[in-house]
Amino acid sequence: MSARVRAWMAFVALAAALPACATSPYKRAGNPAEVAAALARSQPPAAAGRSLVFLVLGGAAGPRVAAYDLSAARVVWTQPGDVTTRIAVGHDVIVHGGKAPGATEGSALIVARDIGNGAVLWQHALAGDERLAGYDVDGNAVYLVVQTLGLTKRGTTGAVVALDPRTGLLRWRHPLPTGRVAGPAVRGGLVAVPVDSQYVILMDGMTGMELAQVLSTAEAATFVRPLPEGMFYGSRGVFLLSAGTARGSRQAPGYLLAKLPPFVRPFYWYDLYRPEQAQYSAIDRNHILWRVTAEGDRARFRDDTVAVHDYRFLFGFDSTSGTLRWAYTHPSDAVGSTDTGSVIVFVSADGDIRALDRVTGARRYEARLQGEMVRAATFDAEGFSPTLPKTETGAGPAPDLVEALGAIVADPDKRFPDLKLFAIEEIGRLPGRAATEKLLHILGGRDLPPLAVQKASEALAARRDTQSADLLAAALRLHADYAEGRSAPPVDFLARAVGALGGMGRSVTPELVAQLRHPETPVQSAAQIARALVATGGEEAIPALRDYLTMYRADPAHDADPSALIAIAEALLKLGGAADRRLLLFVAEEPHTVAPLRAHLVRALGETEPGVGTKTATRD
Amino acid sequence: MPVRSAGIAVALAFALGATGARAADTKPAEAPAPAAAGSKPAKAKKAGQQKQGKPEKSDAATAAGKKPLPAARLDAAREALAGDDDAAAVAAAGSLGASGAGNAAEPLAEMLAAGASPSRAEAALDALAKLGGAGALTAPRTFEVLDLYAGHRAPEIRQRAVKALGTVKDTRVTATLLARLGDAAPGVRAAAGEALAARRERAATPRLFALVKRGDAGAAGPLAALATPDLIPQVAELSGTVDDGVLASVMGDYLQRADVPDGLRVDVVRTVARMGGAAATTALVEYIASVPAKDNRQSKREAQKLLDEQAGATK
C-alpha cells in the first residue's frame, strides 16, 4: 500500500469520525435512514415526451442558440446569443450562461429562455462578490450554487439559490456549511449539492430544507447527475444514490465502474467543482456515455453496455468484460452526445445528427443541419428511440466490426494513435478469416507508424488462424518490383505469423523459400523465415537454406550481425540430414566463414550427436 | 592444407547439390500455386514450358572456341581461389575468364557455390561474364550458380551475375532477367535490360516501357532496341510526364536501328524535334552522325533540316 493511499485512508477515517464531532456541520453525513427518507420524498420525474437537441451555433451568421426537434427532423427555433456555459433543460425553460454587456471577468450572467421559442425570459446577474459554481433546473425552479467571496479562503461561503423558472424571482436561499461547493443537480424535487469534496447535501427543492448528507468514503464526489432511473454521484466511478450508498464505498451494490480499455478516458460526468467544466469543451467530445438499471439499492449498467465517445469515434463496450461490441467512425468530430436509454445520439461539428443503437451500434437515425457550424449541443431526448425505414441507406443490421475497426486504423486523422492501436488489437481478437485478412491489409499499408505495424504483426501471430494459411501465402507471394512500383510485403511479420501456425503453416513453405531467395528480403526477415521453417517443419526449404548459408557465409556484412546466418544454420541442423551436417561442418571449419558463425557452429555441432536430431533418409 | 581441401570437397559436393536441388524443387509439376511474376516457382514453370529447362545449345564443343584447360591448371586455379590470398584469388579468376576455355567456368562456379567474399565473388562473376561473351558457358550448373547470385543481396554482385547470366544460352535465363528488371538497383535493372535486348526478348518490352514511364534512363536503350513501331507514339505521349532526356534517348536509339523503315524514322525525327531541348538536339545530331556520309536518306535530310531551323531560330 502506498503512502498516498494510506494518507487517503487516514483522511477518510478522519472524515468518517467527523459526524461524531459536535462542531462538525456534517454530523448527519452517511445516515442511511435520512438518505432513504429524502429519496422517498422525491418523485421520479415525469417523461417530457420531447426529443429536442439544443444547439450552440457559430459561423458567418454569428453566435446563436437553436432548438432542433429530432422526431420532426426540423429546427424549431433559432435565437441570437452567446452561450458561455452549458445549457440546462427544465420543464418549460432552458438556462445557460451568457455575456452581460460590459461584464467584468469572473462575473456571471444566467439567462433563461422559453423552451418553445427561445425568447429570453429573464437574466440574472450575480453580485460582484459572487461566483457561480453551477446550476440546474426543473419544473419548480432554477437552482444556482454560488460562492460569496470572503476576505480569506475560509471566509468564502456557499449557498443554494432557487429562482422562479419563468420570472427569475427569488424563491429561497439556503446557506451551505462551506465555501467549497460544486454545481447542483435536481431530480424529482430533490436537490443534490457536492461540498467539501466528499459530501453531498440533499435538500428539498420546494423549501431549501436540508434533508440528508451523503458521505463518500471511497472516492471524492465531484459530480451529481440526475437520470430518470435515479440520482448518481461519484468521480472515478458511479454511485447510485440510495440508503446503501449514503456512506459510499466501492463495495456497495450501487457502485459501478465499467471495465474499459486503456485508451478510454475514465470520465463519467463533469467535475462540478471546476467552473471551466461548466463550459462546452473537449470533455463533451471525449467521455463515457452510460445509463443504469436500478433495482432497489443495486445497480448495473443498462444492458451491461457503456458507450465511449472519442471525438470522431464511438464505441460500445460490455461494461463487465470490456469486450468491444461495436464501433463507429464519423467523418468529423461529434461535439455533443447523449444516451437516451435506447440510442446514442450525437451531433457533429458540421451539422450531422446521428443515432446509433446503444447495444448493437446499428444506425437508427440520420439528419443534417445544412450549412451550420455546430459548436456544442445539449440533449433533451430521454427515451428517443428512432427506427430508420428499412429502405433508407444505412438502416439495418449492426455494422461489421472488422470493417469498422479497419476504417479506424486506416483513418488519416493523426490525432488518435492510441485508438488505432486499440483497433488493431481488437481486430486481432476477432475470430475468422476477415479479421486475418484485415490485419494483412493493415500490415501492407504504408502510412502506419512503427508501433501500429508492430501491434498488427503481434496480433496476426497471436491469433494462430490455421484456417487462413492461404491468406498468409498470398501475402508472401507479393514482392518488391520497381517496374510495377510495388514495395515488399512485411516479410518479417508474415513469417512470424506462419511460424505461429506450427505444422499447419507448412503449406506456406514455397512462399517463404521464394522470399528467402529474394534480394530485397531484409536480413532480419531471413532469420524469421528460418525460424518459421523450423516451426512448420518445412523440409522442402532445405536447398534454399543451403544456398543462403553458402552464399553469405563469407560475407563480412554478416560479421557484425550474424543472426540470420545462425538462424539459417540452426534450421539446417534441425531440418536437414547427414549431408547438411557435413556441410555445416565445412562451414564451421572453412577459414573464410565469418567468425561469429564459425564459433556458433563449432558449439552447436559439438552439442549435437551426429545423427541425433538430424535426419538421414532422403536428403543425404 | 588437407583439412581445408577435404572440407571444400564436401562443401562443393553439397553446395552444388543444393543449387541443383533447387532447380529440381521448382519443376512445374512441383511448383506451388501461381506465384507473382519473377518468383522462382513461376520462373521455373515458364522455363519448363519453353524448353523443359534445357540449354538452348548443349553441345559444349560448339560453345567453347578454345581448347580445354589442362587438369593441373584447373587444380592450381582451384587452390588459388580457395586460398588465403585475396589478390591471388582475384587474379586466378581473371586468368580463367581470359582463357575462354570451355572448362574454365568450373572452378569459378565451384567457388561461388561454396561461398566467397564479395571481392572474390565479383571477380568470379566478371570472369564468367567474359567466358560467356566468348560462348564458353554451357554447363547447366553454371546457370544455377549465376541464377543464385542474381538474387544476392549486394547490388554490385547482382549486377555482375545478371550480366554473366545474359551470356548463357539457356531459355531459363529469360525469367530471371525479366524479374531483375524490377530490381531496386538501377545498375541491375540496366544490366538486365541490356541482356534482354541483346537476346531480342520482346517479352521484356512491357516492363521496359513501364521503367521508361518511371523515368528510368537505363531502360531507354533496351526499349529502343526491342520496341515495335506501334510503341513509339506511346513513348512520345509520355512527354511532359517523364524526363525528356530519357524519351529522346529512346527515340534517338530507335532511329539508329537498321530495321526501322525510313518513313517511320521521319516521323520519329519530327517527334524528337518537337520535344526540343538539349537532349532532343543531341539525339538528332547522333542520328545524323550514325548514318554513313553517302547515305542521303530522307530521315537524315529531315533531321538536318530541323536542326538547321532550330539553329536559325536561336540566332
Q: What is the ipTM of this complex?
A: 0.83
SS3 state of residue B265: helix
Q: Where does the pLDDT of residue B39 fall: very low under 50, low under 70, confident under 90, or very high at 90 and above?
A: very low
Q: How far is CA B24 from CA A258, A404, A532, B30, in A?
A: 61, 47, 23, 9
**How far apart are the C-alpha atoms of A257 and A322, rounded to whole Å?**
11
Return the pLDDT at A104.
63
The answer to whether residues A460 and A495 touch, using CB atoms and an 8 Å cutoff, is: no
Q: Cβ B115–A582 below 8 Å, yes or no?
A: no
Whole-number Å distance between alpha carbons of A405 and A480: 28
Going by C-alpha positions, the residue among A489, A504, A486, A503 that lies closest to residue A456 is A489
C-alpha angle B179-B180-B181 in degrees, rounded to nearest 5: 90
Interface test with B, best of A592, A601, A614, A620 (most B CBs within 10 A): A592
Please tell me the distance from the alpha carbon of residue A2 to that of residue A10, in angstroms, as a whole number: 12
Closest chain A residue to B209 measured between Cα atoms? A483
**Neighbour tally for A503: CB within 10 Å:** 11
- The pTM for the full model equals 0.77
Q: Supply the pLDDT for residue A81.
A: 93
Q: Which of A60, A147, A56 is nearest to A98 (CA)?
A: A56
Confidence of residue B71 (pLDDT cuts 50, 70, 90): very high
* Distance of residue A83 Cα from the nearest chain B Cα, in angstroms: 55
Q: Is B60 on the interface with A (CB under 8 A)?
A: no
Candidate from A97-111, A273-287, B128-142, B143-157 with smallest mean pLDDT: A97-111
pLDDT reported for residue B138: 83
Q: Residues of B with CB below 8 A from A542's CB?
A: 18, 21
Interface membership of B91 toward A (CB under 8 Å): no
User: Nearest C-alpha of chain B: how many angstroms from A594?
Assistant: 10
Helix, strand, coil abundance in chain A, percent, nearest 5: 30, 30, 40
Domain ranges of chain B: 1-199, 205-315
- Distance between CA atoms of residues B75 and B97, nearest Å: 15
Contact at CB, B117 and A591, closer than 8 angstroms: no
Task: Please count the residues of chain B.
Answer: 315
Specify whether the backbone of B71 is left (phi greater than 0), alpha (psi in -120 to 50) or beta.
alpha
Least Cα separation, residue A259 to chain B (angstroms): 46
pLDDT number for residue A4: 58
User: Do the Cβ atoms of B7 and A546 come within 8 Å?
Assistant: no
> Coil, helix or strand for B221?
helix
Q: First vs last Cα of chain B: how many Å apart?
A: 76
Distance CA A503, CA B294 (A): 74
List the single residue in B113, B118, B182 with the smallest CB-CB distance to A484.
B182
Q: Contact, B27 vs A589, CB < 8 A?
A: no
Cell of B310: 532550330
> Which SS3 state, helix, strand or coil, does residue B58 take?
coil
10 Å CB burial of residue A494 (0-12, 13-18, 19+) is buried
The C-alpha angle with vertex A71 and arms to A312 and A141, in degrees rounded to 5, equals 90
In the predicted structure, residue B177 carries a pLDDT above the cut 80: yes
Interface of B with A in 201-230 (CB under 8 A): 207, 210-211, 214, 216
Identify the CA nearest to B26 among candidates B151, B195, B172: B172
B58 torsion bin: left (phi>0), alpha (psi -120 to 50), beta (else): alpha
The DSSP code for B170 is B
The Cα–Cα gap between A502 and A538 comes to 10
Question: Cβ separation of B38 and A579 shorter than 8 Å?
Answer: no
Q: Which of residues 22-41 of B touch A (CB under 8 A)?
A: 22, 24-25, 31-33, 35-41
For residue B277, what are the contacts with CB-CB under 8 A and spacing of at least 6? B244, B245, B248
* Pairing of β A286-289 and β A292-295: unpaired
Helix axes A578-589, A595-607, angle to 10 degrees: 140
- Residue A335 has a pLDDT of 97
Band of the pLDDT at B14, cuts 50, 70, 90?
Answer: very low
pLDDT digits (tens, 9 = 90+) for A49-105: 899 999 999 988 999 999 999 999 999 999 999 999 999 999 999 999 998 776 666
Give the pLDDT band (50/70/90) at residue B57: very low
Residue B62 pLDDT more than 50? no
Return the pLDDT at A472.
Answer: 96
- Cβ atoms of A544 and A510 within 8 Å: the answer is no
pLDDT for A447 = 76
Q: A377: closest CA among A297, A309, A473? A: A309
- The HSE-up count of residue A377 (CA atoms within 13 Å, CB side) is 30
**How far is the C-alpha of A553 from the C-alpha of A422, rounded, in Å?**
42
pLDDT of residue A135: 97
- Check whether B192 has a pLDDT greater than 60: yes
The list of chain A residues with pLDDT below 70 reads 1-22, 102-107, 153, 389-397, 609-620
Instruction: Test B181 with A556 for CB contact under 8 angstroms.
Output: no
For A3-380, CATH number out of 1.25.40.10, 2.130.10.10, 2.40.160.20, 1.10.760.10 equals 2.130.10.10
Closest CA–CA distance from residue B264 to any residue of chain A (Å): 28
Strand stretches in A128-195, DSSP E: 130-137, 142-148, 157-163, 170-176, 185-187, 190-195
Which chain A residues contact residue B40 at CB under 8 A?
Answer: 513-514, 517
Cα–Cα distances in angstroms (integers) from residue B112 to residues B121, B161, B241, in the given order: 6, 11, 43
Cβ-nearest to B117 among A514, A547, A554: A554
User: Residue B269 pLDDT more than 60?
Assistant: yes
CATH architecture assigned to B1-199: Alpha Horseshoe (1.25)
Residues of A with CB below 8 A from B148's CB?
A: 517, 547, 551
For A248, other C-beta atoms within 10 Å of its C-beta total 27
Beta bridge partners of A227: A230
Handedness of CA A106, A109, A110, A113 (dihedral sign): negative
Cα(A591)–Cα(B41) distance, rounded to whole angstroms? 34
Which of B39, B116, B152 lies at the smallest CB-CB distance from A514? B39
* Residues of chain A contacting residue B157, judged by C-beta atoms under 8 Å apart: none
Does residue A618 contact residue A577 with C-beta atoms inside 8 Å?
Answer: yes
Q: In this structure, are residues A557 and B157 in contact, taking their beta carbons and an 8 Å threshold? A: no
Interface test with B, best of A586, A593, A618 (most B CBs within 10 A): A586
Question: What mean pLDDT do residues B110-117 have?
Answer: 95
Q: Is residue B206 within 8 Å of B193, Cβ to Cβ?
A: no
pLDDT of residue B105: 96
Between CA B12 and CA B248 the distance in angstroms is: 49
Percentage of chain B beyond pLDDT 70 is 78
Say what the pLDDT of residue A7 is.
56
CA distance A553 to chain B (A): 6
3-state secondary structure of A8: helix
Angstrom distance (rounded) from CA A34 to CA A200: 13
Q: Residues A147, A157: contact at Cβ < 8 Å? A: yes
C-alpha cell at A136: 440546474
Contact B113 A583 (CB under 8 A): no
Of A575, A466, A595, A594, which is closest to residue A531 (Cα–Cα)? A575
d(CA A63, CA A374): 10
Is residue B240 within 8 Å of residue B276, measured between CB atoms?
A: no
